[in-house]
């Protein structure tokens, strides 16, 4: 093998769920910048916050989609729409997720069911719908958004941690099952990142100080583009031999 590693993905079509803001938005823009056309899954397809225009400004085609990850029907319809519009689906990034903080003794059945519906059930059925397309193509790249919370315990986040641990193992299972079809399945597991979803928690000085202390090696929060860079690597030709892996992007948190 004499070719140098490539991180460009021209001619590919990607679907990024939960793309309206934060990490999902950064991933969508990063994949477009690397050459992919991008479908953006949104809980409200009319509220893309300018993302469509930003992707088009990069010279790529874009398709906003109504895609509530708690609805398998919307998931299947969104994947069908991608194939109808672009003719194929090469990359799926399962970014959408929720993290309602709640001490275990106060979790209701409704809380439990909704978190699993979005984080775990949604990830599985989006992977299934995309996987069926990728099996027909003989090619695909799936990246799941895990979390350091899948490897370490976060107080008040028992249900969230459970879903992210499950996603780590789902990633391995799908990698083994779909590898013979030319599909790789990996996950990235970030630490606390500066996003709207973390803003309220990190606005509390005590919470922010504790998080910075626990990010043991770098002592700083992550940025969405730092997660997007890892996703780009995993869907690029440079990572063609990488599958079934969960890449921690945690600034040293879990090495402590």
Catalytic residue status for 160: yes
Choose the catalytic residue: 86, 124, 125, 160. Answer: 160
Question: What does the block give as tokens for 203?
Answer: 């606005």
Radius of gyration of the chain (CA): 17
Q: Which positions are annotated as active-site residues?
A: 160
């Amino acid at each position: 093998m004499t070719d140098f590693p490539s991180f460009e993905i021209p001619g590919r079509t990607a679907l990024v769920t939960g793309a309206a803001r934060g990490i999902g938005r950064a991933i969508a823009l990063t994949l477009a910048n690397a050459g992919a056309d991008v479908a953006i899954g949104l809980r409200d397809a009319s509220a893309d916050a300018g993302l469509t225009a930003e992707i088009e400004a990069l010279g790529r085609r874009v398709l906003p989609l109504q895609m509530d990850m708690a609805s398998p029907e919307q998931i299947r319809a969104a994947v069908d729409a991608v194939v109808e519009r672009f003719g194929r689906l090469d990359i799926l990034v399962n970014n959408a997720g929720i993290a309602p903080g709640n001490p275990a003794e106060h979790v209701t059945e409704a809380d439990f069911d909704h978190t699993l519906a979005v984080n775990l059930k949604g990830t599985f059925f989006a992977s299934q719908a995309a996987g069926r397309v990728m099996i027909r193509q003989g090619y695909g790249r799936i990246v799941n958004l895990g979390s350091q919370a899948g490897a370490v315990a976060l107080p008040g986040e028992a249900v969230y941690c459970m879903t992210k641990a499950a996603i780590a193992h789902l990633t391995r299972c799908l990698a083994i099952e779909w590898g013979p079809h030319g599909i790789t399945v990996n996950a990235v597991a970030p630490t606390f990142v500066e996003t709207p979803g973390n803003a309220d928690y990190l606005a509390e000085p005590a919470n922010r100080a504790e998080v910075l202390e626990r990010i043991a090696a770098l002592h700083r929060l992550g940025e969405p583009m730092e997660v997007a860079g890892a996703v780009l690597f995993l869907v690029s030709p440079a990572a063609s031999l990488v599958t079934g892996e969960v890449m921690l992007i945690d600034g040293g948190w879990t090495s402590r």
